[in-house]
């Protein structure tokens, strides 16, 4: 079981499954959404993730894409997209403890910043 939430604590989640995958995403859209040079996510079956106090606020950032965040503090929480039906991607930085959630793959490497060098597990 993995738990996490936003900076202020208003949004909490519980993922009661092993992640399908753990990845870095280099796309420009994720960089803008997070304010970071790369985003890192764990993908879970949507049915395995609960938001005990209610789901995050969502923003339709592109056709078929929704990004979840805390409506109070703005912390990024999740990503869902039609391209991955039945799956929710949770930001690694939102987990209470992500030490055992090391990325093993990279997505959209063609958009990787040239000065960014990462190691995947």
**In which residue are the tokens 């995947």 written?**
120
Is 2-111 a domain of CATH 2.170.150.70? yes
Rg of the chain in Å (alpha carbons): 14
What does the pLDDT read at residue 65?
92
Cα 53 off chain centre by: 19
Q: Distance (Å, rounded) from C-alpha 39 to C-alpha 25?
A: 5
SS3 content of the chain, % helix, strand, coil (to 5): 15, 40, 45
What does the pLDDT read at residue 119?
81
Q: Which residues of the chain have pLDDT under 70?
A: 121
Q: Distance (Å, rounded) from C-alpha 94 to C-alpha 33?
A: 14
CA 86-40-20 angle, to 5 degrees, is: 35
pTM: 0.91
Length of the chain: 121
């Amino acid at each position: 079981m993995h738990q996490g939430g936003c900076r202020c604590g208003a949004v909490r989640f519980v993922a009661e499954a092993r992640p399908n995958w753990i990845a870095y995403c280099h796309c420009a859209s994720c960089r803008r959404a997070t304010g970071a040079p790369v985003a890192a996510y764990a993908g879970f079956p949507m049915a395995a993730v609960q938001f005990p106090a209610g789901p995050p606020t969502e923003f339709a950032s592109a056709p078929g894409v929704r990004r979840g965040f805390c409506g109070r503090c703005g912390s990024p929480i999740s990503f869902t997209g039609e391209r991955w039906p039945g799956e929710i991607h949770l930001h690694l930085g939102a987990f209470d403890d992500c030490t055992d959630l090391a990325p093993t793959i990279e997505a959209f490497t063609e958009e990787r910043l040239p000065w960014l060098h990462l190691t995947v597990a």
